[in-house]
Amino acid sequence: MRILIADDEPAILMSLDFLMRKEGHQVYVARDGEEAIQLIEKELPEVIILDIMMPKIDGYGVCQQAKALSPTYQPKIVFISAKIADSDIERGYQAGADLYVPKPFSNRDLLKKVNELNLQSKN
Binding residues for another protein, per CB under 8 A?
8-9, 11-12, 14-16, 18-19, 22, 33, 53-58, 82-84, 103-108
Q: Whose Cβ is closer to another protein: residue 11's or residue 123's?
A: 11
**Closest distance between another protein and the C-beta of residue 100, in Å?**
14
Q: Are 78 and 93 in contact (CB under 8 A)?
A: no
By C-beta, is 14 or 120 nearer to another protein? 14
- Rounded Cα–Cα distance for residues 95 and 30 (Å): 20
Q: Least distance in Å: CB of 15 to another protein?
A: 4
Alpha-carbon distances, residue 4 vs 1, 87, 88, 90 (angstroms): 10, 26, 22, 23
- Beta carbon nearer to another protein, 73 or 105: 105
Q: What is the DSSP letter of 68?
A: T
